[in-house]
Amino acid sequence: MASEPVVSLDGITKRYETTTAVDDLSITVSEGEFFTLVGPSGCGKTTTLRLLGGFEEATAGAVRLRGEDVTGVPPEARDIGVVFQSYALFPHMTVGENVGYGLNFADPPGGMSTDERVAELLELVGLGGFEDRDPTALSGGQRQRVAIARALAPGPDLLLLDEPMSALDARLRERLRVELKRLQQELDITTVYVTHDQEEALAISDRVAVMHDGGAEQVGTPRAVYDRPATNFVAEFVGDNNVFSGRVAGRDGDTLNIDVGPTTVQVASPDGTASSGDTAVFCVRPEGFSRGGATNQLRAELESAEFLGWTTRLHLDWEGKELLARTDAAPSEIVSVGFEPEDAHLVTVE
């Protein structure tokens, strides 16, 4: 028998007076997984994490930890470590006392003393020897490491992180996310992470749930969500993308002919059941566009170009619709973008 998931959200709904923050959400997280809830502001990520942590009770549905319904079980009895957006360190305590605070409610694992455990955790987060420091004299990144060490101190079964890096500058955020991932793998601790930053979610996670309006639009590996977005929302939200809508004109083997305004393009549809007249939504990533010679060709006008160092992102106007493309060369006024049928991903047909 497959082992019980560490986390199982079973059709949970959380309603406030006028808002449904989480709407019939079902998700499972397996042992050792780094699982991320990602989505725009207000989509219900934090509420979902708070339900998991026991800081809120669901209006309907069940939260299960290792198969056990934890409804009514308070946060401190859930065997979880939590790190919030703000550092929430106790300013009147030293760094060591802050980390040790997590051990007031649970013994250190493996028969260690509190001092030994605190030293081990600080070492683990790259702050070895910082025990006697004043937390207010630390940088934002260091404070957040202390908060992570504090959450990990009792050796929890599950780690919950709510936008732990949002207060840090972009450079530091990127460095800390690499370290966090390494730490998570080293400890092999099941982790649920919340971010609105889709790039961060792709970079750090084993699987992500892309959330929208309180529900999960798609749950999958970063690659699956990026390469094969299941809905229009996911296609638009995750990474730069060009999403087209058109009418199916016919099928030609494994490709559909789709009318998109003035032209008909060919889009791969190996297992589709589309019929003529259906509305098809498909997307092509900027990196899926090539210049000349491709099967499908769109002639667009250059609106603006952003130099990003490793590439230049082009904002193009095609029939009144904005397209994003990339180039290494100097862009010209008229840009012909081409793509092969298999460089397009069919999102929905109805």
The binding site for ligand ATP (CB under 6 A) comprises 16, 19, 21, 39, 41-47, 196
Q: Which is nearer to ligand ATP, 82 or 122 (CB)?
A: 82
Q: Which is nearer to ligand ATP, 45 or 150 (CB)?
A: 45
Please, where are the H alpha helices in 2-113? 45-53, 95-101
Q: 157 is written with which tokens?
A: 């079964």
Q: Which is nearer to ligand ATP, 207 or 326 (CB)?
A: 207
Taking the complex as a whole, the smallest distance from the CB of residue 14 to ligand ATP amounts, in Å, to: 8
Q: Which is nearer to ligand ATP, 48 or 98 (CB)?
A: 48
Q: Which is nearer to ligand ATP, 42 or 126 (CB)?
A: 42
Q: Which is nearer to ligand ATP, 55 or 101 (CB)?
A: 55
Alpha-carbon gap, residue 237 to 195, rounded angstroms? 13
Residue 100, φ and ψ in degrees, nearest 5? -65, -20
Taking the complex as a whole, the smallest distance from the CB of residue 46 to ligand ATP amounts, in Å, to: 3
Burial class (CB in 10 A: 0-12, 13-18, 19+), 304: exposed
Count of C-beta atoms within a 10 Å radius of residue 137? 9
Sort strands 242-252 and 255-260 into parallel, antiparallel or unpaired: antiparallel
How far lies 245's CA from each of 267, 268, 279, 297, in Å?
12, 15, 7, 16
Taking the complex as a whole, the smallest distance from the CB of residue 196 to ligand ATP amounts, in Å, to: 5
With residue 346 as reference, give the H or E element that holds it.
strand 344-349
CA-angle at 162, arms to 210 and 19, nearest 5°? 65
Taking the complex as a whole, the smallest distance from the CB of residue 146 to ligand ATP amounts, in Å, to: 23
Taking the complex as a whole, the smallest distance from the CB of residue 299 to ligand ATP amounts, in Å, to: 39
Asked whether the beta carbons of 315 and 238 are under 8 A apart, the reply is no
Taking the complex as a whole, the smallest distance from the CB of residue 238 to ligand ATP amounts, in Å, to: 16
Taking the complex as a whole, the smallest distance from the CB of residue 178 to ligand ATP amounts, in Å, to: 23
Q: Which is nearer to ligand ATP, 153 or 202 (CB)?
A: 202
Cα dihedral sign, 260-265-266-268 = negative
Taking the complex as a whole, the smallest distance from the CB of residue 292 to ligand ATP amounts, in Å, to: 43
Q: Which is nearer to ligand ATP, 39 or 341 (CB)?
A: 39
Report residue 279 CA to chain centroid gap: 29
Residue corresponding to tokens 């009318």: 259
